[in-house]
């Protein structure tokens, strides 16, 4: 785990200053409306903290994956500006045409004290991390704050290019980033026993580094999702038409390290399957670890749900990343929802990371019962791999 030291918001001199804050407003939109405002709400404490002290606050974020260098109305942050204004009950000015000009000068022309830049990814220099674009963003500001945990693993201009353009004492992290790091560090270094790590998702190869690193800390690993079939296949079970990771050496490495550290790895004992990978497919319950040749495993079965829930009930600490099945399809979501319910009912400190897992918790109406719901799936995974996040490295270079 990283031991990088960065300045918290409370240590920055914000009085009467012009502040640039990188936030993560990469939220889902539908029909020109914000569908889920969780990331906007998560940024509010830092925004309010800065507004109470600073002369000017300019927020910047990306949204989606527009073609770099080309504005696209489908990815405009205008709905987010509207959402933020409603939440704060104050005007939020959307600055569209900042281009390669002085952002502070343009901001002052509006007469507002809170502005939001249009989608950073409308400019090719953001993802390319060009010095020119970083200077465009930084010119005229006194303080740089990064409160976008979900972007800290990205080598983008607003994340790693800008900090170098500010004095050491004028760079730091926001309250959200601080809370994210504190939650992840607590579960790694001060976890109550037993520590249960729940991992799901499609491919072992996507999460091999995380799993191997977590084996240093946890006592149980509960595996679900598509990756479970790679483990079952390696242990000689029939997995039907389920996709498996061709790099079986990854499975061997995980099992070897788990055995060395006496970590219990649990795999599905039964399944909810179907004849095809389709939302409309008829679910079939299979009361065995083995699947028939003509079926695909799409969720964990009731016996596995009960077994996993029993382990979770005894946990002292829980870290969950990844669904147990194709949870966006109602017929194959029961396993993921059962895990969410079990974690919520547990007396353990429970932390959830990853978009699908967090979405499942919210869908069950259980969000308030967890110690922490991470806003950054990719960044969380990178941090749990034990690798430093480049955004933190950029800030720590001043310390």
Note the pLDDT tens digit of each residue in 345-391: 999 999 998 777 888 888 888 888 888 888 777 788 888 888 889 99
Question: What are the percentages of helix, strand and coil residues in the chain, rounded to 5?
Answer: 45, 15, 40
From the candidates 7, 22, 39, 334, give the one annotated as an active-site residue. Answer: 39
The Cα–Cα gap between 142 and 305 comes to 53
**359 in a domain, yes or no?**
no
Same domain, 300 and 264: yes
The per-residue pLDDT for 399 is 47
**Is the Cβ–Cβ distance between 77 and 84 less than 8 Å?**
no
Note the pLDDT tens digit of each residue in 7-21: 999 999 999 999 999
Note the pLDDT tens digit of each residue in 102-153: 999 999 898 889 999 999 999 999 999 999 999 999 999 999 999 999 999 9
Whether 378 is catalytic is yes
Residue 240: give the domain boundaries: 193-347
The Cα–Cα gap between 54 and 170 comes to 13
Instruction: Compute CA distances 174 → 31, 89, 153, whole Å.
Output: 31, 21, 16
Whether 18 is catalytic is no
The two structure tokens encoding residue 271: 């399944």
The per-residue pLDDT for 36 is 87
The per-residue pLDDT for 3 is 53
Note the pLDDT tens digit of each residue in 220-271: 999 999 999 999 999 999 999 999 988 888 899 999 999 999 999 999 999 9
Q: CB within 8 A of 107, min separation 6: which ones? A: 56, 58, 93, 95, 115
The per-residue pLDDT for 78 is 97
Same domain, 162 and 199: no
Closest to 283 (Cα-Cα) out of 270, 275, 291: 275
Note the pLDDT tens digit of each residue in 185-219: 888 887 889 999 999 988 788 888 889 999 999 99
Same domain, 132 and 199: no
From the candidates 17, 96, 203, 303, give the one annotated as an active-site residue. Answer: 203
Closest to 355 (Cα-Cα) out of 33, 36, 22: 36
From the candidates 316, 369, 377, 378, give the one annotated as an active-site residue. Answer: 378
Same domain, 23 and 135: yes
Same domain, 42 and 160: yes
Whether 297 is catalytic is no
The per-residue pLDDT for 382 is 85
pLDDT mean across residues, the chain: 92
CATH code for the domain in which residue 88 is found: 3.40.50.1260
The per-residue pLDDT for 397 is 63
Note the pLDDT tens digit of each residue in 334-348: 999 999 999 999 999
Same domain, 35 and 151: yes
Task: Kindly tell me the burial class for residue 151, based on how many C-beta atoms sit within 10 Å of its own C-beta (0-12, 13-18, 19 or more).
Answer: buried
- The percent of residues in the chain predicted with pLDDT above 90, rounded, is 77
Domain count, the chain: 2
The per-residue pLDDT for 398 is 52
Note the pLDDT tens digit of each residue in 43-79: 999 999 999 999 999 999 999 999 877 899 999 999 9
The Cα–Cα gap between 198 and 44 comes to 30
From the candidates 355, 369, 377, 386, give the one annotated as an active-site residue. Answer: 355
Whether 243 is catalytic is no
The per-residue pLDDT for 1 is 42
**361 in a domain, yes or no?**
no
Q: What region, left, alpha or beta, does residue 365 occupy, with left being phi > 0 and alpha being psi -120 to 50 degrees? A: left
CA 142 to chain centre: 29
**239 in a domain, yes or no?**
yes
């Amino acid at each position: 785990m990283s031991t990088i030291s960065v300045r918290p918001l409370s240590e920055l001199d914000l009085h009467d200053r012009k502040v640039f804050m990188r936030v993560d407003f990469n939220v889902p939109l539908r029909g020109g409306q914000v569908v889920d405002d969780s990331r906007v709400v998560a940024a509010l404490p830092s925004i309010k903290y800065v507004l109470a002290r600073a002369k000017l606050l300019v927020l910047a974020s990306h949204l989606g994956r527009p073609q770099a260098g080309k504005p696209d109305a489908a990815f405009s942050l205008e709905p987010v500006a509207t959402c933020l204004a409603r939440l704060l009950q104050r005007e939020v000015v959307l600055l569209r045409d900042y281009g390669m000009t002085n952002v502070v000068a343009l901001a002052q022309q509006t007469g507002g004290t809170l502005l939001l830049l249009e989608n950073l990814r409308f400019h090719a220099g953001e993802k390319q991390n060009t010095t020119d674009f970083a200077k465009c963003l930084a010119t005229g500001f006194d303080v740089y704050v990064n409160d976008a945990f979900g972007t800290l693993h990205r080598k983008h201009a607003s994340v790693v290019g800008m900090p170098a353009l500010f004095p050491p004492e004028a760079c730091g992290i926001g309250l959200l980033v601080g809370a994210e790091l504190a939650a992840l560090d607590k579960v790694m270094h001060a976890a109550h026993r037993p520590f249960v790590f729940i991992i799901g998702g499609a491919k072992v190869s996507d999460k091999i580094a995380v799993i191997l690193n977590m084996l240093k800390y946890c006592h149980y690993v509960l595996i679900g999702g598509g990756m479970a079939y790679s483990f079952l296949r390696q242990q000689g079970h029939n997995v039907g038409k389920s996709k498996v990771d061709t790099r079986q050496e990854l499975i061997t490495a995980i099992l070897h390290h788990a055995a060395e550290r006496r970590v219990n790895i649990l795999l599905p004992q039964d399944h909810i399957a179907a004849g095809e990978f389709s939302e409309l497919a008829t679910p079939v319950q299979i009361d065995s670890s083995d699947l028939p040749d003509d079926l695909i495993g799409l969720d964990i079965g009731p016996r596995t749900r009960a077994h996993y829930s029993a382990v979770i009930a005894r946990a002292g600490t829980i870290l969950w990343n990844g669904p147990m099945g194709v949870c966006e399809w109602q017929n194959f979501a029961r396993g993921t929802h059962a895990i969410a319910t079990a974690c919520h009912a547990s007396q353990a400190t429970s932390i959830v990371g990853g978009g699908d897992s967090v979405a499942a918790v919210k869908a069950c109406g259980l969000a308030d019962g967890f110690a922490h719901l991470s806003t950054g799936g990719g960044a969380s995974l990178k941090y749990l791999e034990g690798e430093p996040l480049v955004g933190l490295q950029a800030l720590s270079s001043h310390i």
